[in-house]
């Protein structure tokens, strides 16, 4: 079973540019999550999908951020007009919800640096 994969692993961009990250979950996992982690902090929830439906968005997710999971498989996270404060590690996780369980497995992350 392959794990969660994320691309690119690193992204350096200039302030004001748009960036897009991709996450491929574990095969057949129906839930997909995005988190953001800054240095010295725990991951913070951004949003999650169950199949194609985006079920919750954090207040941290400004209108410059948009996420999609068009066919219920891979997901993309786009940040428009990047700011220096967007520099962070963006983590994706997936899970298979069965009764009473929802263990999230994380990908290696995409490290974004905004200059």
Partner 1 sequence: AQKVTQAQTEISVVEKEDVTLDCVYETRDTTYYLFWYKQPPSGELVFLIRRNSFDEQNEISGRYSWNFQKSTSSFNFTITASQVVDSAVYFCALSEAGNAGGTSYGKLTFGQGTILTVHP
The residues of the shown chain that bind partner 1, judged by CB under 8 A, are: 31, 33, 35, 40-45, 48, 50, 55-56, 89, 91, 93, 95, 97, 99-109
CB of 84 to partner 1, least distance (A): 21
Of 74 and 106, the one with the shorter C-beta distance to partner 1 is 106
Measured CA to CA in angstroms, residue 30 lies from 47, 70, 80, 114 at distances of 14, 13, 27, 32
Euclidean distance between CA atoms 54 and 22, whole angstroms: 16
Of 25 and 107, the one with the shorter C-beta distance to partner 1 is 107
Q: Report which DSSP code applies to 64.
A: T
């Amino acid at each position: 079973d392959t794990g969660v994969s994320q691309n690119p692993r690193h992204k350096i961009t200039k302030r004001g540019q748009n960036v897009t990250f991709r996450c491929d979950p574990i095969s057949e996992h129906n839930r997909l999550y995005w988190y953001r982690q800054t240095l010295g902090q725990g991951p913070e929830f951004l949003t999650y999908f169950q199949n194609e439906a985006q079920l919750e968005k954090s207040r941290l997710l400004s209108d410059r951020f948009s996420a999609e999971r068009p066919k219920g498989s891979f997901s993309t996270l786009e940040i428009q007009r990047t700011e220096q404060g967007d520099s962070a590690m963006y983590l994706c996780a997936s899970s298979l919800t069965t009764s009473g369980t929802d263990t999230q497995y994380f990908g290696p992350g995409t490290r974004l640096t905004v200059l």
